[in-house]
Structure 1
Amino acid sequence: MGFDYYALVVSVRMQRRDPLTHHISDYPEVWVQRHIMPGGFVDDSMLQACLKAPCGFMWSEIGDYLIMTQLQRSILAAAHGCGLRQGFTVPANLPFEPPGSCSFASRRSAPLPPWRQQAAQLVGAHAMKNVRRTAGWTRFPRALISFGPREQEVLDWMAEGKSYTDLATILNMRHGEDACQVDPAQARRGAG
């Protein structure tokens, strides 16, 4: 694909020294020792942008997803100094699964042609899929989510496009009472 380096990180809690972090990379050793091994990825703007990005992004586009702190800007400058000058990061952000990313980096600062971005998107998505599979992380099975009869009725009406006001009328609820049924049901199915 024409990149010089790659890194794949998946962390259950995105916290420093998280024992449930999976990390594979061939980034320069000085970068790994300084930023990845001590858990510096917590402050890494790439991973923070991944929590908001719907698809892969060039590192030059990171400002589209977050307002960087001074610490994050200094980490990017340090990456540049270690030879990680331009790159493409593929986010992995699915409900009920740990967040992560797969990044491809280049020593050159030149813009990445579209075909390299597309190739990185495909390879990164497959890499994240496989690390999740081998780590045993799978999507939360719907069969384990159970609803009471009233919650199920609310969800059925919502699936048909009914508004909160419609729900209140249909279910003979007082105004505002509908949220007491809707919000917990939405939260338990991963929506809302």
Structure 2
Amino acid sequence: MSIENKMIRFKILEDFKAEMAVVDSVAAFRRALIEVKTVMGFDYVALTQHADIFEGVGTVIRVHDYPALWALQFDGRRMGRTDPVHRASHTQAQPFLWTEISNMIQMRREDWAVFANAEDCGIGDGYTVPVHVPGESNGSVSFAMAVGRPIPYEMLAIAPQIALHAFDAARRLWKMRPAPLAMPILTAAQIRCLTWSMLGKSDWEISQIEKCQEVTVKKHAKDALARYGVHKRTLLITRTLLDGTLSLGDLAAG
């Protein structure tokens, strides 16, 4: 690869990073994503969370420019969670070519049919970047080619960074997590009690661990619920995992 080509790739990435840092609407985001995939030499792009679009209308991140016929089939068969590309992306953090999928997951007859249908709709080879954010639906960014057109392999060097910057910008636009300054703040005692609760401890058990009265544990839980404006501890735990107050690592630590 020549120095000139490396500089071209570097400029594409830096320009896109700058644009994603300030993009302020879904429409502008979509235009920028489609523009960058075109500049990179790809024919199609799809940035999506792996969820049933009908179960989360308005809240599931999905931006693509795949052929309309394929999108119609994809939605009609409710393939958000069963698509083989999506399933393969759940098995690793590294990007992969679609030609590698049969070595990543057990391919079923219907999976091969998915690729055949995609080809009938004009979609050929592709390259997918998995995106996994704890507490949120798994996602991915796929760059694809029209049938018979080769993948621009020289652009795979920047495709993962392009994908991650795009997904972070999408999460911001779709408001997947609250702004840090808008997060409720729990006391250290509330966080400790909530962590033990997440680990399955009863209020009495927590009181023994924390060397306090059971009524104190219940008060910590009640106050934490009030700060988040929720009424169930399961929802409280979910909210604290989403805003980073707690982490899945706390489960392992317990």
Would the TM-score normalized by the shorter structure come out above 0.5?
yes
Partner secondary structure for residue 61 of structure 1 = helix
Give the Cα–Cα distance (whole angstroms) in 2 for the partners of residues 95 and 126 of structure 1.
17
Partners in 1 of 2:146 and 2:87 — Cα distance? Answer: 22
Match of 1:15 among 33, 52, 68: 52
Preserved CA contact (<8 Å) 1:16 1:42: no
Alignment RMSD (CA, Å): 3.3
- Structure 2: which amino acid aligns with 1:69? R
Other-structure match for 2:95: 56
Structure 2 Cα separation of the partners of residues 40 and 52 of structure 1: 18
Higher percent of residues as helix: 2
Sort the Cα spacing of 1:84 and 1:191 in 2 relative to 1 into closer, same or farther, 3 A: farther
**TM-score where L is the length of structure 1:** 0.68
Structure 2 residue aligned with 1:166: none
| Closer, same or farther: CA 133–79 of 1 in aligned 2, 3 Å | same
1:33 CA displacement? 0.9
Show CA shifts across 1:35-84 (max 9, x none). 13652232211111111121211111112321122111110111122111
2:250 partner amino acid: R
Partner Cα distance (2:55, 2:133) in 1: 19
Equivalent residue number for residue 104 of structure 2: 65
Q: TM-score, normalized by length of structure 2? A: 0.53
Q: 1:22 to 1:52 in 2, by over 3 A?
A: same
Change (3 A) 1:191 1:86: farther
Contact 1:97 1:138 in 2 (8 A): no
Following the alignment from structure 2 to structure 1, what is the Cα–Cα distance between the partners of residues 164 and 116? 27
Unaligned ranges ≥5, structure 1: 153-185
Q: Deviations over 1:69-124 (max 9, x none)?
A: 21111101111221111111111112112211111110144653542222221211
**Who is 1:87 aligned against?**
126
Identity %: 27
Matches within 5 A, 1:162-177: none
1:112 and 1:119 map into 2 onto residues whose CA distance is 14
Say if 1:38 and 1:22 are closer, same or farther in 2 by CA, change over 3 A.
farther
Matched, 1:104 2:143: yes
Unaligned runs of 5+ in 2: 1-39, 197-205, 211-246
1:189 corresponding residue in structure 2: 250
Q: Structure 1 counterpart of 2:164, which letter?
A: A
Aligned to 1:46: 85
Contact 1:95 1:190 in 2 (8 A): no
In 2, are the aligned partners of 1:43 and 1:71 still within 8 Å (CA)?
no
Which protein has the larger Cα radius of gyration, Structure 1 or Structure 2?
2
Instruction: Verify: 1:30 aligned to 2:69, yes or no.
Output: yes
Residues 1:6 and 1:16: Cα distance change in structure 2 (over 3 Å) = closer
> Which residue identity is paired with 2:131?
A
